[in-house]
C-alpha cells in the first residue's frame, strides 16, 4: 500500500514538473496551436480590412515580452507597403502598425532616412575626406511634420511622401537633412571648428551629398583611460549648409558658438 502511494505521488510530481516545463516553454516560445490561431486571425483581418490591397503574411513569430505573436503582412514587390499585426494566445488582434507604417508613410520615411544615413556613413569612414577624429558622425532626415528640428520652409513633410517612390536624396537633404558630429582634436578653437565645417561641406560636395544644417562639437582627445578631458569645447548647432564658405567663416562660427547653449 505504501509503495502504491509513493508511486502515485511520484507520478503526480512528474506531471507537475512536466506541466511547469510546458508552461515555461509556452511563455518563452509559444505553441503551434496559438501560432495557427494568430495566423488565421490575421488572414481574416486582411480579408476584412484590406481587401484588394494584395497583402500576404510573410512572417509569424512569438514575442515573450508581449505574450503573443507579431505577424508581418506585406505586398509583394513593394518597398514600403508592409506592417505588423499583434495577436494574443487566442488569436485576438490587439494592435497593428498600419496607420503609422503605411497610411502616415512611416516605412517610406524610414527607408529614405536609412539610405541618407548610409550615404554619409561612407563619407565619415573615408580618412582622406574626413582627416580628423570623429567620435560621432551621422546624418538623418527630419521631416517637418514629425520632428521639432529646424527645417527649411520648403522641407519635405512625411505625410506628403508616396509609397515606393524613388526620391532624390540630394533634394531631400537640401531642406530636410541634418548632420551631427562630435570631433576630438588637439586644437580646440573657433578657427579649427571653421576648418572642420569647411572640410565636411567639401567632402559632402565631392560625393554629391548635401544637408540643410549641422550640429558640430569640438573637444580635446580622450585621455588614456578613455575619459574626455575636463575642459571647455567649442560647438555650433543648426549651422546652415549655406553659411559654410570661406569668406567670413570664422566670424560666423564665432557668433554661432557664442549662442550654442542659449
CATH of the domain at 45: 3.10.450
State the average pLDDT for the chain. 85
Indicate whether 199 belongs to any domain: yes
Domain span including residue 55 = 30-103
Indicate whether 16 belongs to any domain: no
- Name the DSSP letter for residue 23: H
Q: What is the pLDDT of residue 9?
A: 43
The answer to which of 66-70, 177-181, 233-237 has the lowest mean pLDDT is 66-70
Q: Are residues 219 and 94 in the same domain?
A: no
Q: Are residues 238 and 178 in the same domain?
A: yes
pLDDT tier at 254, thresholds 50, 70, 90: very high
Q: Are residues 56 and 176 in the same domain?
A: no
Q: Are residues 224 and 112 in the same domain?
A: yes
Q: What is the pLDDT of residue 23?
A: 39
Grid cell digits, residue 43: 488572414
**Total domain count, the chain:** 2
Our measurement of the distance from residue 43's CA atom to the centroid of its chain's CA atoms, rounded to an integer in Å, reads: 29
The CA distance from 54 to 66, in Å, is 28
Grid cell digits, residue 240: 546652415
Q: Are residues 98 and 161 in the same domain?
A: no
| pLDDT exceeds 90 at position 15 | no
Out of 64, 82, 103, a domain closes at 103
* pTM confidence score: 0.80
Out of 103, 127, 142, a domain closes at 103
Q: Are residues 208 and 237 in the same domain?
A: yes
Q: Are residues 218 and 192 in the same domain?
A: yes
**Mean pLDDT across 11-22:** 40
Q: Is the CB of residue 161 less than 8 Å from the CB of residue 105? A: yes
Phi-psi region of 104 (alpha: psi -120 to 50; beta: other; left: phi over 0): alpha
The CA distance from 135 to 133, in Å, is 6
Q: Are residues 164 and 218 in the same domain?
A: yes
Out of 103, 128, 144, a domain closes at 103
Q: Are residues 116 and 89 in the same domain?
A: no
Indicate whether 169 belongs to any domain: yes
Helix (H, G, I), strand (E, B), or coil: what is residue 233? coil
Amino acid at each position: 500500500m505504501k509503495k502504491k502511494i509513493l508511486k502515485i505521488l511520484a507520478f503526480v510530481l512528474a506531471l507537475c514538473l512536466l506541466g511547469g516545463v510546458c508552461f515555461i516553454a509556452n511563455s518563452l516560445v509559444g505553441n503551434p496551436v496559438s501560432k495557427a490561431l494568430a495566423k488565421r486571425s490575421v488572414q481574416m483581418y486582411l480579408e476584412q480590412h484590406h481587401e484588394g490591397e494584395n497583402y500576404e503574411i510573410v512572417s509569424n513569430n512569438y514575442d515573450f515580452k508581449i505574450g503573443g505573436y507579431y505577424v508581418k503582412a506585406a505586398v509583394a514587390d513593394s518597398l514600403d507597403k508592409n506592417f505588423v499585426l499583434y495577436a494574443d494566445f487566442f488569436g485576438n488582434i490587439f494592435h497593428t502598425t498600419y496607420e503609422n507604417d503605411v497610411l502616415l508613410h512611416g516605412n517610406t520615411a524610414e527607408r529614405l532616412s536609412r539610405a541618407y544615413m548610409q550615404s554619409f556613413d561612407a563619407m565619415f569612414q573615408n580618412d582622406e575626406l574626413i582627416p580628423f577624429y570623429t567620435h560621432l558622425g551621422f546624418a538623418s532626415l527630419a521631416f517637418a511634420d514629425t520632428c521639432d528640428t529646424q527645417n527649411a520652409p520648403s522641407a519635405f513633410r512625411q505625410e506628403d511622401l508616396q509609397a515606393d517612390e524613388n526620391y532624390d536624396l540630394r533634394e531631400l537633404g537640401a531642406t530636410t537633412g541634418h548632420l551631427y558630429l562630435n570631433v576630438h582634436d588637439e586644437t580646440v578653437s573657433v578657427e579649427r571648428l571653421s576648418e572642420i565645417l569647411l572640410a565636411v561641406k567639401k567632402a559632402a560636395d565631392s560625393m554629391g551629398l548635401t544637408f540643410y544644417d549641422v550640429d558640430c562639437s569640438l573637444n580635446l582627445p580622450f585621455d588614456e583611460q578613455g575619459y574626455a578631458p575636463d575642459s571647455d569645447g567649442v560647438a555650433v548647432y543648426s549651422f546652415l549648409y549655406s553659411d559654410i564658405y570661406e569668406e567670413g567663416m570664422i566670424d560666423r562660427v564665432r557668433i554661432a558658438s557664442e549662442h550654442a547653449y542659449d
